[in-house]
Amino acid sequence: EIVLTQSPGTLSLSPGERATLSCRASESITRTSLAWYQQKPGQAPSLLIYGASNRATGTPDRFSAGGSGTDFTLSISRLEPGDFAVYYCQHYGSAPPMYTFGQGTKLEIK
């Protein structure tokens, strides 16, 4: 089973700054099956990125993502107040079929 480890656990930044979040897989994964979500308190997660680097409908271009193999990143430029939330990475593996989430990174206002 693939394990996704996100770092840091908490990231404290100020509006206007740039955030870089990491997601590391326990073994090499297919980048087309790596996604990122944003979750605000009391809400369902919202898809930001699929296929490691493709922005979902409605995701601002301040959000960018990439990576390959075991290391993937989500970057947010020019942080806005609404960006402070918890971010999860997620992987789908087909043998056996299984969706796995990282433990999350909390992005908080400094």
Query: Could you tell me if 48 and 38 are in contact, meaning their C-beta atoms sit under 8 angstroms apart?
Result: yes
Query: Per residue, what are the HEC states of the chain?
Result: CCCEEEECCEEEECCCCCEEEEEEEEEEECHHHEEEEEECCCCCCEEEEECCCEECCCCCCCEEEEEEEEEEEEEECCCCHHHCCEEEEEEEEECCEEEEECCCEEEEEC
Among 54, 68, 80, 82, binds another protein (CB under 8 A): 54
Rounded least distance, CB 83 to another protein, Å? 19
Size of the site for another protein (CB under 8 A): 27
Among 21, 59, 102, 107, binds another protein (CB under 8 A): 102
Report the residue number, 45 or 67, with the smaller CB distance to another protein.
45
Any contact of residue 1 with another protein (CB under 8 A)?
A: yes
Stretch that binds another protein, among 9-17, 20-28, 59-67, 92-100 (CB under 8 A): 92-100
Report the residue number, 28 or 103, with the smaller CB distance to another protein.
103
Gyration radius of the chain over CA positions:
13
Among 38, 50, 63, 74, binds another protein (CB under 8 A): 50
Rounded CA-CA distance 110/100 in Å is 30
Residues 61-90 that bind another protein (CB under 8 A): 88, 90
